[in-house]
Amino acid sequence: MTKDNKTIENELVSKLDTVNIANHLNIMNNCEANDAKGAVEMAACISNSPAVPASPSPFYGKAQEYWSQVPATVNGMLGGLGFISAVDIQGSNIFLRELKLAGNKLALDCGAGIGRVSRNLLIPRFDKVDLVEQDTAFAAKAREYCTIGCVHPNRLGEIYNVGLQEFQPPSDKKYDLIWSQWVLGHLTDEDLLAFFQRMRMSLASNAYLVMKENVTSTKNVMKDEEDSSVTRPLQLYERLLTQAGFRIVRKVKQQNFPKELFPVYMIACKPIAPK
């Protein structure tokens, strides 16, 4: 981390509880322009269009290829913005504290990367934490990162090295929290809906699914060709969650990220009907 970045990080962390500013995660100019027509085309492109067939598909293959070139470091996980990690974890901690979780036995970290969220947010709170990560090198790094030098070296559970579009939790596992962060843009709408539905069935009673994702400031979906992902508007995530049988319990915008980034929202939800 450079001295400049460290300074910025300290400023961001100290401002977190006091200042309300607009925040963003992916750098906008990596993405295509978001005029209305283009957005409709992009939305079609990620849901039902033959351009993105059911997996395995170029949409997932390109993302896999992209992530295989990224270093297995915190900086790599955050697109070169490793210095925002502390602010991110602080915001997530506040969010979870206010949720008042019912259980603390087992959590699941979806799209876990090297286990940044597991190590810093989930492992301190849960007896066991499982991870899902599609990249083999990140999954291997996570095993090290979530044990060696970790305050609770025995809390790492299973690491499932598979894409979320294919991931099915074992039927005997019920999670007290399912956390997914900065990964859902890698799923097509159709696969995301099915993923939400499967996760709903794997929650313990009174447990939450939380998603923390970039959202567009408009009503448009924006596609990033470089990492083969999309950034969705908040309303689309809300609609998919509702369609999957969730009710939204809490929705908070992450504070104090650099202004150039997309807004980032944390949404906690619970199943609507008893399972």
Ligand X SMILES: C[S@@+](CC[C@H](N)C(=O)[O-])C[C@H]1O[C@@H](n2cnc3c(N)ncnc32)[C@H](O)[C@@H]1O
In the bound complex, what is the minimum distance in angstroms from residue 231's beta carbon to ligand X? 12
Number of other CB atoms surrounding residue 153 within 10 Å: 11
Taking the least distance from each CB to ligand X, the nearer of 52 and 117 is 117
Q: Which residue is nearest to ligand X (CB)?
A: 113
Q: Which letter, b or e, does each residue of 155-176 get, where b requires 16 or more Cβ atoms within 10 Å of its Cβ?
A: bbbebbbebbbebebeeeebbb
Q: Is 181 annotated as a binding residue?
A: yes
Q: Is 197 annotated as a binding residue?
A: no
Q: Which residues pair with 211 in a beta bridge?
A: 180, 267
Q: Report how far Cα 107 is from the mean position of its chain's Cα atoms.
A: 14
Taking the least distance from each CB to ligand X, the nearer of 34 and 181 is 181
Name the residues that contact ligand X, by CB under 6 A. 60, 63, 67, 77, 111-113, 116-117, 132-135, 138, 163-165, 181-183, 186-187
Cα(208)–Cα(66) distance, rounded to whole angstroms?
A: 31
Q: Is 184 annotated as a binding residue?
A: no
Q: Is 165 annotated as a binding residue?
A: yes
Cis peptide before 56 (omega within 30 of 0): yes
In the bound complex, what is the minimum distance in angstroms from residue 103's beta carbon to ligand X? 22
Taking the least distance from each CB to ligand X, the nearer of 38 and 55 is 55
Cα(109)–Cα(171) distance, rounded to whole angstroms?
A: 17
Q: Is 111 annotated as a binding residue?
A: yes
Taking the least distance from each CB to ligand X, the nearer of 94 and 219 is 94
- List binding-site positions for S-adenosyl-L-methionine: 111, 116, 164-165, 181
